[in-house]
């Protein structure tokens, strides 16, 4: 079983729609969860972190965490063409340790 799994996509949404990105993880002890955005040929850029069950909102982004289901999601409201990128889910291994990344979901926002 892969440690962090994401649907590779591509996920295509029209401009102004809500994009929903999902991630599951295998290590039940994981406590810290992150979403990164990576444009083609560029480095990952941190957009959200979440540590507790529930929702966390930051501007157009909402991260959702359900530790019982080992599931993390990212919602992007009012999607813009500039949001077109690969979104990486990252999970801290155990209670302290390095981040483990999923393969990423490619998002395409069509004007």
Partner 1 sequence: EPEVTQTPSHQVTQMGQEVILRCVPISNHLYFYWYRQILGQKVEFLVSFYNNEISEKSEIFDDQFSVERPDGSNFTLKIRSTKLEDSAMYFCASTGQEDYGYTFGSGTRLTVV
- Minimum CB separation from partner 1 for residue 10, in Å? 14
Footprint on this chain of partner 1 (rule: CB under 8 A):
31-32, 34, 36, 42-46, 49, 51, 88, 90, 92, 96-104
Q: Which of 7, 35, 32, 11 is nearest to 22 (CA)?
A: 7
What is the C-alpha to C-alpha distance for residues 61 and 58, in angstroms, rounded to an integer?
Answer: 5
Residue pair 86/38 in contact by the 8 Å Cβ criterion:
yes
Residue 75 vs 100, nearer CB to partner 1: 100
- Minimum CB separation from partner 1 for residue 108, in Å? 17
- Minimum CB separation from partner 1 for residue 111, in Å? 26
């Amino acid at each position: 079983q892969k440690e962090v799994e994401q649907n590779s996509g591509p996920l295509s949404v029209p401009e102004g729609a809500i994009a929903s990105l999902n991630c599951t993880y295998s290590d039940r002890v994981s406590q810290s969860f992150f979403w990164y955005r990576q444009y083609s040929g560029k480095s990952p850029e941190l957009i959200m972190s979440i540590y507790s069950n529930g929702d966390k909102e930051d501007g157009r982004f909402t991260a959702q965490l359900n530790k019982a289901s080992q599931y993390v999601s990212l919602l992007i409201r009012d999607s813009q063409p500039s949001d077109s990128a690969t979104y990486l889910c990252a999970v801290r291994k155990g209670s302290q340790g390095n981040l483990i990344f999923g393969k990423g979901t490619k998002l395409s926002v069509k004007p």
